[in-house]
A = this chain, B = another copy of it.
């Protein structure tokens, strides 16, 4: 079949990382490659009860067309939650409901970027958003990660170099894939640089509520007095990813454009899901719920990190996540994680090699991502043993 493919969205290709994620569907394989919440973290009883009540009390409203900007009750609840919990949102801000933060990334790039425009990204970073930015024709420019978050000197150098830079994409908390958290000092510096060079920040915070160690740091958005920060949040990790419900909090002029484009993309997000999120957020004891999630992820991460320390060759290093779902491992100098991941897959364990998280997916990366949320305890232990053995034969 021959057809004209557009230069960017029509020419997007699945990466090696996408293929590895697809392999995770095979139940015979231990996947440490996923990014799903832990099965035990789903508030199933609450969702059952809430959904039943919605379909009894307001069935038509839950099935009818709704408005592109999102259910007004949910928008209000999200705005309140962002203000009270995070100190985010000022007079000039507004919010739009999107089909998961992934759609937030897609809309952002389409609104802000013409083909050839530049997006600065932490390197490595979340591959889903990299693909969304590529689909819009953006040129990706990576800024290295350090132990306390993005390298702000490299960021400043990139800004000084100039060009049509439209925004910086950052995941300050328990970053995907590294698990790294940006220090408060760097959050301030990143915001200052954005104002100074007049570029926008796209702050993606899907994991912020999954802290299981240490003190929470305020989002960059909480510092925003000028409208330079676009904040994305999601119900995927605190409720369920299948609801595909997230939100963007930003200056109202930006939100107006998101709403117009959202209308042309898919009219609005599933309204039953929005109503489930609304009732969940306003009816549940969220502090208790989040404490429960933290306990799950604390336990599972400890299981994986202890197994790493026990089983892996000592030349392999790892990050120390304080929350979230991921840990980032780095093989010794001269190694390539791509063949390592291939050997691991042959041995029945999936990991995501680092190249997929790079702005240039052909980069050779020594690192790979492990996930401790999705696999069972048994799968974690067995998988880490197998991987550990492979590291000794590097």
Contacts and interface: CB of A to CB of B under 8 A. Distances in A.
Contacts of A227: 1
Given A66-B242, A242-B64, A100 B272 contact: no
B135 A251 contact: no
A10 B42 contact: no
A181 interface: no
A6 B99 contact: no
Contact of A59 (B47, B98, B166, B244): B47
Interface stretch (A182-190, A263-271, A319-327, A361-369): A263-271
Contacts of A18: 263
Contacts of A132: 264-265
A272 to B, nearest CB: 6
A128 B272 contact: no
Interface string A83-115: 000000000100000111011001000111111
B267 A100 contact: yes
Count identical subunits in the complex.
Answer: 2
Interface stretch (A49-57, A140-148, A209-217, A384-392): A49-57
A135 B270 contact: no
Contacts of A10: 110-112, 257, 261
B106 A264 contact: yes
Interface string A287-301: 000000000000000
Contact of A1 (B92, B100, B134): B92
A160 interface: no
Interface in A1-57: 1, 3-7, 9-10, 12-14, 18, 22, 25, 34-36, 39, 42, 44, 47-48, 51-52, 55-56
Given A243-B272, A244-B270, A273-B273, 5 more contacts: A3-B112, A3-B254, A6-B113, A14-B263, A244-B268
9 contacts: A1-B227, A6-B136, A9-B110, A14-B263, A63-B240, A242-B270, A244-B268, A244-B270, A272-B272
